[in-house]
Amino acid sequence: MYRYSEVPNLVEKVKKMVDKIKTVPETKSFFIGLTLVLVTPLLFLLSDFFPEIPNWIIISTAAFINFFSIMFILNAAEKRHSRRVRGNE
Protein backbone atom coordinates (compact mmCIF):
# COMPACT_ATOMS: atom_id res chain seq x y z
CA MET A 1 0.00 0.00 0.00
CA TYR A 2 1.00 3.57 -0.54
CA ARG A 3 1.63 5.88 2.34
CA TYR A 4 -0.16 9.20 2.48
CA SER A 5 3.06 11.03 1.63
CA GLU A 6 3.46 8.96 -1.56
CA VAL A 7 0.00 9.76 -2.97
CA PRO A 8 1.02 12.97 -4.81
CA ASN A 9 3.84 11.04 -6.48
CA LEU A 10 1.34 8.37 -7.55
CA VAL A 11 -1.01 11.01 -8.96
CA GLU A 12 1.82 12.47 -11.02
CA LYS A 13 2.66 9.02 -12.39
CA VAL A 14 -0.97 8.47 -13.42
CA LYS A 15 -1.07 11.88 -15.13
CA LYS A 16 2.11 11.04 -17.05
CA MET A 17 0.60 7.72 -18.13
CA VAL A 18 -2.59 9.40 -19.37
CA ASP A 19 -0.54 12.03 -21.22
CA LYS A 20 1.43 9.28 -22.95
CA ILE A 21 -1.80 7.57 -24.02
CA LYS A 22 -3.11 10.88 -25.37
CA THR A 23 -0.06 11.27 -27.63
CA VAL A 24 -0.89 8.08 -29.55
CA PRO A 25 -2.49 8.84 -32.95
CA GLU A 26 -6.21 8.20 -33.39
CA THR A 27 -6.10 5.13 -35.65
CA LYS A 28 -3.29 3.44 -33.73
CA SER A 29 -5.05 4.12 -30.45
CA PHE A 30 -8.28 2.57 -31.72
CA PHE A 31 -6.55 -0.52 -33.11
CA ILE A 32 -4.51 -1.04 -29.93
CA GLY A 33 -7.70 -0.86 -27.85
CA LEU A 34 -9.64 -3.13 -30.20
CA THR A 35 -6.81 -5.66 -30.28
CA LEU A 36 -6.65 -5.75 -26.49
CA VAL A 37 -10.41 -6.25 -26.26
CA LEU A 38 -10.32 -9.12 -28.75
CA VAL A 39 -7.22 -10.81 -27.29
CA THR A 40 -8.26 -10.70 -23.63
CA PRO A 41 -10.61 -13.73 -23.90
CA LEU A 42 -7.59 -15.78 -25.00
CA LEU A 43 -6.25 -15.22 -21.50
CA PHE A 44 -9.12 -17.29 -20.15
CA LEU A 45 -8.49 -20.04 -22.70
CA LEU A 46 -4.78 -20.13 -21.87
CA SER A 47 -5.58 -20.30 -18.17
CA ASP A 48 -6.88 -23.84 -18.71
CA PHE A 49 -3.32 -24.94 -19.44
CA PHE A 50 -2.14 -23.55 -16.09
CA PRO A 51 -4.60 -24.79 -13.45
CA GLU A 52 -2.29 -23.75 -10.59
CA ILE A 53 -2.98 -20.05 -11.26
CA PRO A 54 -5.99 -18.92 -9.18
CA ASN A 55 -9.03 -17.55 -10.99
CA TRP A 56 -8.92 -14.22 -9.16
CA ILE A 57 -5.49 -13.46 -10.63
CA ILE A 58 -6.70 -14.14 -14.15
CA ILE A 59 -9.88 -12.11 -13.69
CA SER A 60 -8.01 -9.14 -12.21
CA THR A 61 -5.44 -9.30 -15.03
CA ALA A 62 -8.24 -9.28 -17.60
CA ALA A 63 -9.87 -6.32 -15.85
CA PHE A 64 -6.55 -4.46 -15.92
CA ILE A 65 -6.11 -5.16 -19.65
CA ASN A 66 -9.71 -4.17 -20.41
CA PHE A 67 -9.28 -0.91 -18.49
CA PHE A 68 -6.36 0.07 -20.70
CA SER A 69 -8.13 -1.04 -23.85
CA ILE A 70 -11.08 1.18 -22.97
CA MET A 71 -8.65 4.05 -22.29
CA PHE A 72 -7.19 3.66 -25.79
CA ILE A 73 -10.61 3.43 -27.47
CA LEU A 74 -11.92 6.47 -25.60
CA ASN A 75 -8.79 8.38 -26.55
CA ALA A 76 -9.42 7.60 -30.23
CA ALA A 77 -13.08 8.60 -29.91
CA GLU A 78 -12.16 11.87 -28.22
CA LYS A 79 -9.64 12.74 -30.93
CA ARG A 80 -12.13 11.91 -33.68
CA HIS A 81 -14.85 13.96 -32.02
CA SER A 82 -12.59 16.98 -31.49
CA ARG A 83 -11.44 16.77 -35.12
CA ARG A 84 -15.04 16.74 -36.37
CA VAL A 85 -16.07 19.62 -34.11
CA ARG A 86 -13.10 21.72 -35.25
CA GLY A 87 -13.86 20.95 -38.90
CA ASN A 88 -17.49 22.12 -38.64
CA GLU A 89 -16.73 25.48 -37.03
Q: Is 21 part of a structural domain of the chain?
A: no
- Angle (nearest 5°) at CA 18 between 40 and 29: 50
Q: Is 14 part of a structural domain of the chain?
A: no
pTM reported for the whole predicted model: 0.76
**Total count of domains within the chain:** 1
| In the predicted structure, residue 6 carries a pLDDT above the cut 80 | no
Q: Is 9 part of a structural domain of the chain?
A: no
How far is Cα 20 from Cα 80, in angstroms, rounded to an integer? 17
The whole domain housing 75 covers 54-89
Q: Is 76 part of a structural domain of the chain?
A: yes
Which one has a higher pLDDT value, 60 or 1?
A: 60
Residue 1: the pLDDT is: 55
The backbone torsions φ and ψ at residue 58, rounded to the nearest 5 degrees and listed phi first, read: -70, -40
